[in-house]
Amino acid sequence: MNIVIHFPIFGNEYKYIYLAAICLAPFPAIVLEPFLKDMKWKVFILYGILTLVLILPFIDSMKREWPWFTMSSLSTTPPEIGFESFHITLGDNHPYAELVRVIREDTPLNTLLVAEKSELYLPALAERGLYAPPTQKGMYPGVNIPTDDLLTIVKRYDPAILSERRQVLNNFYHSNNCITIKESLVRFLAFNRPLAIVVEMPAQMGLSQWLEKNDVGRLIFRDQLFELWVKNSDHEEGIQELCKV
């Protein structure tokens, strides 16, 4: 099956091979039963030898390939995770803990999340969709596929769309130009969904001041590292009036 059928996404043939092997497993046992009955206690030795032989390729593979990602290749040290509830939560002392909790609990489920940087996989923690994934410096702990590959190879998004949205993010966070920021904001709100904007402090203090000065949404969270601004989905309200002299 592995020779005849090929799936072009990260060698997923093994999933179907396992399923086929489970379904076919009873048939070799039925065929071998008459021979094994005559072996009596020796059958246990045979089973032991077969087990060792069959497990050797797995041991060799793990020796050569594990770990798939070293600690130095991760975006951050794997955080402490809580499983006390249905949600994946971070330990109270983690810098992102309160931010993702506020996003998850205090924003509507269809909120579009805007964030330029993240050391963790925000969709799993905040349970909200991203306008575009932050540029990834290393593998996110717990996610063994790069975000770009997950979107363009697995989910088949056009790479041009990903690149375009990242440019919109870059303009929003770094242009320092009122008209350009407004244009990016209009692009975000064009999805007609509530918007949540993560502002990194103090690096993006200028953007925070712009949002406050122009009364764009409201601030619902602030700590030493982050601010979270939210705006409802009626994107025409007040936006087109921004930056007019």
pLDDT tens track for 101-155? 999 999 999 999 999 989 999 999 999 999 999 888 888 888 888 888 888 888 8
Instruction: Give Cα 164 to chain centroid, integer Å.
Output: 19
pLDDT of 15 reads 79
| Co-location of 38 and 145 in the same domain | no
How far apart CA 82 and CA 101 sit, in angstroms, is 12
Instruction: Answer whether residue 245 shows pLDDT above 70.
Output: no
| Co-location of 97 and 56 in the same domain | no
Domain extent, residue 118, equals 90-231
pLDDT of 31 reads 86
| Co-location of 174 and 219 in the same domain | yes
Cα–Cα distance list, 43 to 25, 35, 48 (Å): 18, 10, 9
pLDDT of 205 reads 93
Q: pTM for the whole thing?
A: 0.77
The average pLDDT across 73-94 equals: 85
| Co-location of 20 and 125 in the same domain | no
pLDDT of 38 reads 78
| Co-location of 139 and 205 in the same domain | yes
| Co-location of 53 and 96 in the same domain | no
pLDDT of 105 reads 94
The average pLDDT across 84-112 equals: 91
Share of the chain above pLDDT 90, in %: 43
Instruction: Give Cα 67 to chain centroid, integer Å.
Output: 20
Cα–Cα distance list, 80 to 70, 74, 76, 93, 141 (Å): 18, 15, 12, 9, 11
Instruction: Answer whether residue 3 shows pLDDT above 70.
Output: no
| Co-location of 115 and 154 in the same domain | yes
Instruction: Answer whether residue 93 shows pLDDT above 60.
Output: yes
pLDDT of 236 reads 54
**206 domain-assigned:** yes
pLDDT of 76 reads 83
Domain boundary among 49, 65, 81: 65
187-239 residue pLDDT tens: 999 999 999 999 999 999 999 999 998 888 899 999 999 999 999 876 555 67
